[in-house]
Structure 1
Amino acid sequence: CIPLCDYRCQLHSRKRLCMRACMTCCDRCKCVPPGTYGNREKCGKCYTDMLTHGNKYKCP
């Protein structure tokens, strides 16, 4: 997960926050979408449906 999330979060303004969320999603869904943004649907429902307490998308 680490190299995939590192690439996914490289352009994020809050990289540590992005990495933490990405690692959780990668652990649970066994997937990180390609590219630095978007493409969430490539990881299926697990990745697209995970929400934070504030009802925002958890996975970067």
Structure 2
Amino acid sequence: MEGELALLGKYIGAGLAAFGLGGAGIGVGNIAGNFLAGALRNPSAAAGQTATLFVGIAFAEALGIFSFLIALLLMFAV
């Protein structure tokens, strides 16, 4: 019984950690949408902000990948 409860806790924790993946998707969409809105307002400045766009996307995706790693560790680590 205790082993089943521990297994249930692992799966619940992994599911909760996977919510970070959804947050990363929302964050990347927000970053890209705001960049597009700014680029449509001022197209001449868009080329100078492309590097900043990619850095922001990379940070948001890194947090998503980190939460995915935590979910995998909770599921498969001993």
Q: Does TM, scored on the shorter chain, surpass 0.5?
A: no
The answer to which structure, 1 or 2, has the higher relative contact order (CA under 8 A, 6+ apart) is: 2
Report the TM-score, using the length of structure 1 for normalisation.
Answer: 0.29
Report the TM-score, using the length of structure 2 for normalisation.
Answer: 0.25
**Which of structures 1 and 2 has the bigger CA Rg?**
2
